[in-house]
Amino acid sequence: MQCKPCRKFYKQATALFDPSKSKSYKAFSCHSNTYHSVLGSYYYAKRCRYQIEYGDGTFSYGDLNNDTLSLGSTNGSPILLRTTIGRGNKNFMELKGTNSSIVGLGRGPMSLINQLGHLVGWKFSYY
């Protein structure tokens, strides 16, 4: 997720996320097992950092943090998910349109699918 302050970012239709305005935003523990399972994670300047790059040149660098996401569902009740999230402050994406974040849909332990799966019976669609 692109966040303030942001040194490099791609154009998006919505405002950059401001962690100071989130009541559920929390710093990430660099000593947790979760931190050590994130590919591209490292410790720098007393913060848990991440770096992820994709084959098309898209990348995001920033801090790992915890926050609560509210996701829509087919039954009308929002799903609240306490999740590990990348607070990107240096990002690049060449996709056209109104993107506002990069969603991890892979098989890794920190992908959105693996963080959300147990709440939705491992059924998920993305449009």
Structure tokens at 64: 């790992």
* 36 backbone dihedrals φ, ψ, rounded to 5°: -70, -15
- pLDDT number for residue 123: 78
- pLDDT number for residue 24: 85
Radius of gyration of the chain (CA): 15
Q: Worst-scoring range by mean pLDDT, 14-28, 52-66, 89-103?
A: 89-103
Q: In 3D, which of 99, 98, 74, 73 has the Cα closest to residue 88? A: 99
Handedness of CA 24, 59, 79, 71 (dihedral sign): positive
Report which of residues 75 and 63 the model is more confident about: 63
Report which of residues 39 and 19 the model is more confident about: 19
3-state secondary structure of 114: helix
**CA-based max dimension of the chain:** 44
- pLDDT number for residue 6: 75
69-119: pLDDT as tens digits: 777 777 777 777 788 888 888 888 776 666 666 676 777 777 777 877 887
Task: For residues 85 and 52, give the distance between their C-alpha atoms in angstroms, rounded to a whole number.
Answer: 13
Q: Model pTM greater than 0.75?
A: no
Tell the residue number behind the tokens 């998910």, with chain if given: 81
* % of the chain exceeding 70 in pLDDT: 80
Q: Residue 63's beta-bridge partner residues?
A: 49, 87
Burial of 28 (0-12, 13-18, 19+ CB in 10 A): buried
Residue 66 has pLDDT above 80, yes or no: yes
> Where would I find the beta strands (DSSP E) of 1-127?
26-27, 41-44, 47-53, 59-71, 79-92
Report which of residues 25 and 105 the model is more confident about: 25
- pLDDT number for residue 44: 67
- pLDDT number for residue 97: 62
